[in-house]
C-alpha cells in the first residue's frame, strides 16, 4: 500500500486526488489550510457582491467523501524532509511514498510588502470579503460626508495591475457604479465613481493578442474605467497611489499585480524560479526526486513552450490529473507519460455582455464572448458544486444588474481576543 500525500486542495490537488480515489494499493492524505476548495476564477464576484462565498466554495470533505482511500486533514505543513520522505505538519509527521505539492501562489508586492494593508490582493475568501467591505464602506462614507474633496477620494478606486483579475475587478466596479448603485444613494451620484487600472506594462491583458486587449480597453472605458499603462506604482499608502511624479488620491486601492509561489519549494531546497515556482520535469516531478510532483500555480513547467505555463485553472486541473495518472502508471510498473497542456484558450470578462475570448486562432468579443464565458464557468462550477439553483440565481442577478450580496461584515474581533487563531505568520504563509 503506497501512501500519497497531497498538499493543497486547489484545482491541481483535488484533481490528483480524484485520479487516485478508490484505486487499489494506494491511500491518499490531502492536507489543506482551509476546509474547502475554492473556485478561484469567480472570486472577484464575491469581492464585488455578486456572489456569496458559499456559491464558489465547497468543503473538501464533501468533494472527496466518496473515495474511501482518501483522508482529509485541515492543517498547516511546516516543512518537508525530502530525503527521509516526511511531511512535518502542525499536527504531527506523515511519511509518504509520493508527494504532490499543489500549494499555489499568494500576492507579491515586489519587496514592498508594507503596501499589503493598503492594497489587499484577491486570493482568499477572507480577502474577497475584505475587499467587498472596503468598496461598500467607501460608498457609505461618501454618502455621509459633506466634504466634496473627501467624497471624491472615497469614490476613487485604483486597481494596480491590468491582467485578467484587475480587468474583472475594474469592470465590476464600473458596472456596479454605473448600473446598480445609482438608485440607492441620496447624497452622492455613484456614476461619478472614478476607476483606474494602473499597469506597468505598455498595455493591459498582456497574455492576449494586442487586438483583443485593445477591444477590452474600449469596453472598460465605456464603463468609465480609466486605464493608465506604462505606469509603475512607486508608492501605496492610506491615501492613494504614487506613480512616479503623478498621484491619485484614493480610499480604496486593490492589488492585482503580482503573485509568488508559497515558500515550501524554497524551504525544501529544490530549484525554483524568480517567482518561487518549482522547476519541474516533463512528468511534473522534481529533478532528482521522481516521487515528488508539483502541480498548478506552484509549478514552473516550460518544456514545450517558450515561457512557463501560466497560473490558470485549466493548467492546474490538467496537471493534477496527469500527476495522479502517472502515479498509477508507476504502481502498475508502466512508464510515465510526459505532461502535455491541451490549450483550451483563455477569456476575460469585463461586464455584462462584455468579454474577450481567444481559442487558438479564434478571437471574439462582446455578447457572444460574454455568453461563452458564462457557459464555461457555469459548466466548470457545476462539476464541483452540483447546485444548479444557485447558478440560476447568479445568472438571474447578473441579468438584472443585481449586486444583492452587498453586505459589510465587520470583523468583530474584540469579542474573541484569545481564542482567535493567530498562528505564527511564517507558518500560515508557508503551506
Task: Give yes or no for residue 410 binding a second copy (CB under 8 A).
Answer: yes
Q: Quick check: helix, strand or coil at residue 405? A: coil
364 CB neighbour count, 10 Å cutoff: 16
Task: Give yes or no for residue 34 binding a second copy (CB under 8 A).
Answer: yes
Is the Cβ–Cβ distance between 101 and 276 less than 8 Å?
A: no
Cell numbers for 187, please give them.
447624497
Residue 305 burial by Cβ neighbours in a 10 Å radius (0-12, 13-18, 19+)? exposed
- In eight-state DSSP terms, residue 112 is -
Cell numbers for 69, please give them.
482511500
Return the number of the residue (83 or 412) whose C-beta is nearest a second copy.
412
Return the number of the residue (144 or 235) whose C-beta is nearest a second copy.
144
Residue 394 burial by Cβ neighbours in a 10 Å radius (0-12, 13-18, 19+)? buried
The residue with cell 519541474 is 280
DSSP string, 372-383: HHHHHHHHHHHH
User: How many chain residues interact with a second copy (CB under 8 A)?
Assistant: 71
Return the number of the residue (1 or 422) whose C-beta is nearest a second copy.
422
Cell numbers for 188, please give them.
452622492
Contacting a second copy (CB under 8 A), which of 200, 228, 406, 427? 406
Task: Give yes or no for residue 375 binding a second copy (CB under 8 A).
Answer: no
Minimum CB distance to a second copy, residue 32 (Å): 10
Give the footprint of a second copy on residues 251-310 (CB under 8 A): none
Minimum CB distance to a second copy, residue 194 (Å): 20
Residue 117 burial by Cβ neighbours in a 10 Å radius (0-12, 13-18, 19+)? exposed
Radius of gyration of the chain (CA): 22
Round to whole Å and give the CA distance between 68 and 403. Answer: 40
The residue with cell 475570448 is 357
- In eight-state DSSP terms, residue 408 is -
Return the number of the residue (179 or 303) whose C-beta is nearest a second copy.
179
Cell numbers for 28, please give them.
491518499
Return the number of the residue (107 or 354) whose C-beta is nearest a second copy.
107
Name the segment binding a second copy (CB under 8 A); options: 72-80, 222-230, 309-317, 341-349.
Answer: 72-80
Give the footprint of a second copy on residues 309-328 (CB under 8 A): none
Return the number of the residue (176 or 350) whose C-beta is nearest a second copy.
176
Give the footprint of a second copy on residues 41-70 (CB under 8 A): 52-55, 57-59, 61-62, 65
Closest CA to 130 of 416, 409, 350: 409
**How far apart are the two ends of the chain, measured CA to CA in Å?**
26
Q: What are the b/e assignments for 3-12, b being 16+ CB within 10 Å? A: ebbbbbbbbb
Residue 65 burial by Cβ neighbours in a 10 Å radius (0-12, 13-18, 19+)? exposed
Task: Give yes or no for residue 379 binding a second copy (CB under 8 A).
Answer: no
Give the footprint of a second copy on residues 163-222 (CB under 8 A): 183-187
Give the footprint of a second copy on residues 215-254 (CB under 8 A): 238
Minimum CB distance to a second copy, residue 74 (Å): 4
Round to whole Å and give the CA distance between 251 and 220. Answer: 21
Task: Give yes or no for residue 22 binding a second copy (CB under 8 A).
Answer: no
Contacting a second copy (CB under 8 A), which of 91, 110, 379, 399? 91
Contacting a second copy (CB under 8 A), which of 25, 110, 288, 396? 396
Round to whole Å and give the CA distance between 73 and 60. Answer: 9
Name the segment binding a second copy (CB under 8 A); options: 2-10, 331-339, 342-350, 414-422.
Answer: 414-422
- Catalytic, 117? Answer no
Q: Which residue blocks in 204-312 are alpha helix, DSSP H?
A: 210-222, 264-268
Of the listed 140, 143, 168, 281, which one is catalytic? 168
Return the number of the residue (238 or 333) whose C-beta is nearest a second copy.
238
Task: Give yes or no for residue 95 binding a second copy (CB under 8 A).
Answer: no
Return the number of the residue (110 or 416) whose C-beta is nearest a second copy.
416
Contacting a second copy (CB under 8 A), which of 19, 23, 35, 353? 35
Task: Give yes or no for residue 106 binding a second copy (CB under 8 A).
Answer: no
Name the segment binding a second copy (CB under 8 A); options: 71-79, 165-173, 279-287, 362-370.
Answer: 71-79
Give the footprint of a second copy on residues 118-137 (CB under 8 A): 118, 120, 124-127, 129-130, 134, 136-137
Tell me the helix, strand and coil percentages in the chain, rounded to 5. Answer: 35, 25, 40
Contacting a second copy (CB under 8 A), which of 79, 145, 346, 353? 145
Task: Give yes or no for residue 74 binding a second copy (CB under 8 A).
Answer: yes
Active centre residues (catalytic):
168
Amino acid at each position: 500500500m503506497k501512501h500519497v500525500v497531497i498538499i493543497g486542495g486547489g484545482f491541481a490537488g483535488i484533481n490528483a486526488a480524484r485520479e487516485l480515489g478508490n484505486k487499489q494499493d494506494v491511500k491518499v492524505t490531502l492536507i489543506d489550510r482551509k476546509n474547502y476548495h475554492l473556485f478561484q476564477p469567480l472570486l472577484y464576484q464575491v469581492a464585488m457582491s455578486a456572489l456569496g462565498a458559499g456559491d464558489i466554495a465547497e468543503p473538501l470533505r464533501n468533494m472527496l467523501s466518496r473515495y474511501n482511500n482518501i483522508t482529509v486533514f485541515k492543517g498547516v505543513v511546516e516543512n518537508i524532509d525530502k530525503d527521509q520522505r516526511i511531511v512535518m505538519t502542525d499536527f504531527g509527521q506523515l511519511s509518504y511514498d509520493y508527494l504532490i505539492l499543489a500549494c499555489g501562489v499568494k500576492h507579491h508586492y515586489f519587496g514592498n510588502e508594507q503596501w499589503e494593508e493598503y492594497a489587499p490582493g484577491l486570493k482568499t475568501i477572507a480577502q474577497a470579503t475584505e475587499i467587498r467591505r472596503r468598496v461598500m464602506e467607501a460608498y457609505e462614507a461618501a454618502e455621509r460626508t459633506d466634504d466634496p474633496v473627501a467624497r471624491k477620494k472615497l469614490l476613487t478606486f485604483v486597481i494596480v495591475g491590468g491582467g485578467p483579475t484587475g480587468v474583472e475587478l475594474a469592470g465590476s466596479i464600473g458596472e456596479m457604479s454605473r448600473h446598480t448603485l445609482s438608485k440607492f444613494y441620496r447624497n452622492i451620484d455613484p456614476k461619478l465613481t472614478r476607476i483606474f487600472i494602473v499597469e506597468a506594462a505598455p498595455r493591459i491583458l498582456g497574455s492576449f493578442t494586442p487586438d483583443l486587449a485593445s477591444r477590452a480597453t474600449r469596453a472598460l472605458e465605456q464603463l468609465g474605467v480609466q486605464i493608465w499603462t506604462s505606469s509603475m506604482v512607486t508608492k501605496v499608502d492610506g491615501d492613494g497611489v504614487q506613480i512616479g511624479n503623478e498621484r491619485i488620491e484614493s480610499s480604496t486601492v486593490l492589488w492585482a499585480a503580482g503573485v509568488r509561489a508559497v515558500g515550501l519549494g524554497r524551504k525544501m531546497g529544490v530549484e525554483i524560479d524568480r517567482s518561487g515556482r518549482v522547476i519541474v520535469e516533463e512528468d511534473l516531478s522534481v529533478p532528482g526526486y521522481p516521487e515528488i510532483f508539483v502541480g498548478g500555480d506552484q509549478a514552473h513547467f516550460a518544456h514545450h513552450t517558450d515561457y512557463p505555463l501560466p497560473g490558470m485553472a485549466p493548467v492546474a486541473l490538467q496537471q493534477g490529473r496527469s500527476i495522479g495518472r502517472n502515479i498509477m502508471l508507476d504502481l502498475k510498473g508502466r512508464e510515465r507519460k510526459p505532461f502535455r497542456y491541451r490549450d483550451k484558450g483563455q477569456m476575460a470578462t469585463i461586464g455584462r455582455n462584455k468579454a474577450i475570448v481567444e481559442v487558438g486562432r479564434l478571437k471574439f468579443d462582446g455578447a457572444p464572448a460574454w455568453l461563452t464565458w458564462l457557459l464555461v464557468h457555469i459548466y466548470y462550477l457545476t462539476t464541483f458544486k452540483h447546485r444548479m439553483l444557485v447558478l440560476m440565481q447568479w445568472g438571474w442577478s447578473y441579468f438584472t444588474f443585481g449586486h444583492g450580496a452587498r453586505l459589510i461584515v465587520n470583523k468583530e474581533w474584540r469579542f474573541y481576543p484569545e481564542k482567535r487563531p493567530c498562528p505564527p505568520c511564517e507558518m500560515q504563509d508557508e503551506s
